[in-house]
Structure formats: C-alpha cells, structure tokens
Amino acid sequence: MTFSFRRTTALLATSTLMSLGTLTGHAHAADQMEIMERQIRAMQAQLNTMKKEHNEEVKRARAVLAHQREDAENNPYGQRNSYIGSHPQSNAPLITVRKGTGGPDIGRPASDRADITSWSDFQRATAQDEEVTVGGVKIGFPKGRPTIQSSDGAYALSIGLAFHEDFGGFFNSGPRKGEARGAFNSFTSNMRRLRIPFMFRYKNWVAAVTPDFGANHNDGYVGLYEGNLNYTGFRNTILTAGYFQPRVTEEDSESSNDFFTLERPSITDMVRNIAAGDARFSVGGLHYEKRWWVAGYFTGQEWGHRNGSDNGSTYYGGGSSSTVDSQTGGTLRVAGRPVATKDWDVHLGASAISAFRVACNTGTDANHCSRSTSFGQRPEFDIGEANLAATGGISNAAQVWAAGPELGVRWNRLIVKGEYYHVGVQRSGPGLKSAGFQGWYGSAAYTIFGDPRMYNYKSGAFGAPGVSNKEEFNPALNQWGALEVVGHYSVIDLNSGLNEANAKNVIRGGQQTVWTGGLNWYPNRHFRFMLDYSHFIVSRSMQTTNLYGRTGNSIAARIQAGF
C-alpha cells in the first residue's frame, strides 16, 4: 500500500527501453528529442495517477483506524469478550415502535365483552393499531384493547374495560292514592356495568372470562358476565361453549357501548331473558358474511341460578337452592343485508327463542316440583326502581317462546330501526290456556358531527359513531369528537286473557309505553357521555305500585369508558 521507489524505477526502465527500440526503428521518421519529451510527459502523468491512488489508500486506512479507536473507547471490553465466547450481538434494537395502518374499526368504541375473532383477523387487527415490541414480546392495542402477544401472535392476552356509571332520577312520578310509592328516587346512582374482559388466546383457541362488578340493579353485587371457550378456526365462524350472552334480537346483538339510549327497549330485554341474557350456559356458534349472518345456541341455566345463598346475587332475580330440574332452551337468529352501499344499508332479520323446559323448583313438598315463569320491566331506567308493568307468577308453565322480525335502514348519517315480538307461554293443567304477550319499538339516531354509525356485518347489527384521531376533542384545534341525537318509542303489553271466565287465565300485567330522547357525545373512541329524558305511561297492573295506572318522567345520564 506504500509508494514504492523500486516500482517506479522499473516502470521508468521499461518505458526507456521501449522508447529506444522505437527510436532505432524510426530514427529517420521523427525527431529523437520530440519523442523523448512525449515519453517524459507520459511518465509524469503515470506518476501523478499513482500518487492519487496512494493518497486514497492512506485516507481509507486512517478511517478504519479511527473507527477501531472509537469502538475501543465505547466498548473497552469488547475484545476481551470475543475471547471468552460472548453471545453474538443482534443489530435489531431492543424496543421498536410500529405505527398502525388503520382499518374500518379505527375510531369506533371497543366491545363490552371479550372480542372473539379468528387468529388471522386478530393478526390483521393488530397490524391496524400501534404496536411496541420489547425483546420479542409485542404490546399493542388491537381495536383499542391492551394486548400482550408473542412475536408470532400465537399466544396473546387481552384485558378490556366496560365502565358505565348511571345517575339521575324521577320527577312527577308519584303514586295515586292507595298505591305504594315504590323505589322511584328523585336522585341516585348505579354502577350499571363494570366489566373487565380477559381474553386468553392460543392461535384459534380463545378462552374468555369477564367478571362484572356492576351485576345487579343496585350497587354492591359482583357477578360473572361470561366465562367460555371459543374456537375460531373455521372461516368467519365462532363456536362457543360455556357461560355466554347468546346473540338474539338486533338490539341484543349490539354491544352496550353502542346502544342508542341508556337501556334496551323493554321488549328486547324481556325476550332475551327467556333463554339467553348475560352469563347463560350456551353451546353453539355464529357465522357471518358481508351480506348475511346466522347464529344458534342450545342454552341452559344462568350462572348462579341454583345458588340460594343470596337470591339477589345474579342480575335477573338470583338463584334458588330449590331448583331440582334446570331450564333448557335455545335461540336462533338470522339476519340479511340486501342493500349495502356507501350511503345506504338495509337490515332484515328474524329472531326466535324458547325455553323448551322451564326450571322446576320444589315448594313445601320436597318430593314434587312446579314450573312457573314471570315477566316484568322497569320504565327503561335502571337505578333500582320498581316494576310497574309485571305479570306476577304464571304457574304451570311448560314452555315459553318468542319470535319476531327485525328491520333497520341507514341513510347517510341517519339510522331508523325497529323490532316486534310475540311472547307465548304454553301452560299445562286442567282449564289452563296459553298466555300471549307482545311488544315493539322504533328507534332513530342521527350523527350531527363525527363519523356516523355504520353497519357491522360481523354482529349483524349497527355500530356506534366513530371519532378519528383528527377529530378527537381538542377545542384549541376546533375538534369536538362526535355528537348524535337519538330517540325511541317502546311498548310492551303484558295483559293476557282479560275477558276469560277462568280467573287463572287472566293476567293483568299492564301495558307500558316509553318515549325517550337523548344526546350522546363521544370525545374520542374510548369515552362517551349520555343524557336521556324519558316519559312513561303504564296502564294498571296487579302491582301494588300501579293499581290505577301511572305516569312519570326521568332524566338519566351515563359516563362511559371502554377499552
């Protein structure tokens, strides 16, 4: 690499000999001095080129030495470690951050339950949200839910939150003379839901456990919303076994984080509780496509239903230690989407549910049991108030069923939907006739600003408005989230056989009508503030709180967080 004088001398000698040979052969063709001058100039040019090459080699050598000195200063033990067999160092950083690519669910609220998806869908959802990798472990927020997973996504643990705190009260709702007042607070509060969904995944196998610290109409109860095993390996299909909320009716197929108003319309709540509802033992599955959806489940008892230690321990009336034959039933729901465009969605569906065999409880005679059922609904504000419309116990109930259609239409920012259901109770016994009840509702929602509600084909129902990152509440940037105005009209008729001669066939549960209007504000995808006003009218029933018919009003608010 050094400049060599011997090399230069050899080159000069070679050039001189060649020149002499040329001079000898052409002495008479050109002047000897001119030839020598040309040869000297050629040798000088060759020397300059060699000097430049030498200088470049020196620069490269100095750069290598400087880099080696810098490495030695930064890691003085590196050479020693190489001798003692140190592990090879990876060029990948310990912590990396990958931005999300976005997706159709970006900006929409998270579900109020474990979000069961196939392994491939889970990986796609992970790619849509920001992800941090720490030493090969991925920490991300698919659909806004904190998730820890292995590098290949085969193992994953997700933790969520559904927090609904309700407060408000009733006014101009007092009883008539001779009626009991009932629990109609002028102001109170209730932790309506406080669910913490845990989801454990191994590829297409998913276990979901969701305790609920708001598991009753009044604060102070802890229950289970779901505990089940799921398999998602078949295309667009989820198979489930365990305690679960079977999807039946359009309203019940929505997440409670997406409801138009604080509570479901009374008829859908009444129907789902026949053989579905929260924490119902279920075995079945659902399948979805972009244009249709179907689900069916065999169902049993609710969680805690045979536990008599606290008859208020479960959400729908508590357990009983006298149950000797638990309920069995089933649900079926089919939905279609015949129109699906940018501006229009049309939803058509039907739901059916049945308790094939009502639970049998022993009474004073431990050797015999009886099967009975009952229906009752609050005026669609759940802060511990009493039922005004209620049937009381219906004895000798062999089977209970309900069925009805669903219809919904979305046009741009406006959604209108409704459902109707007929409820039947088959009775066994001399002189007893079947009882029949009915109910319906119509709801509307209009998104004033923010991303409007859209159809969610994976649940066969409408979802909540969305708030993109550029629309999240920030007054300094003139960003206000999303705001919608909502309303619904809801009716249940719990009267049956009012003109029957046999008093055992007369059921006067009353007819309840509720008008509700409200506003929902979403500062971002994780939080919502709701305000509802309701006016209710209930015809007389057999309840001591409603002997002559009763009307009233309520104002209710909710603060909601979902992850």
Domain 97-562 classification at class level? mainly beta
Q: What is the per-residue pLDDT for 386? A: 82
Residue 160 has a pLDDT of 96
Q: Which residues pair with 528 in a beta bridge?
A: 560
CB burial string 323-340: b at 16+ within 10 A, e below:
beeebbbbbbbbbbbeee
Residues in the chain where the model's pLDDT stays below 50 = 1-26, 76-89, 100, 313, 316
What pLDDT was estimated at residue 91? 57
pLDDT reported for residue 123: 75
pLDDT score for 229:
98
User: Which CA distances in Å does 277 have to 39, 158, 309, 379, 469?
Assistant: 104, 24, 22, 19, 35
Predicted local distance difference test score (pLDDT) of residue 38? 78
Predicted local distance difference test score (pLDDT) of residue 474? 96
pTM: 0.80
- The residues spanned by each domain of the chain are 5-77, 97-562
Which residues are CB-contacts of 383 (< 8 A; sequence separation ≥ 6)? 166, 167, 168, 169, 185, 188, 189, 190, 217, 556
pLDDT of residue 382: 87
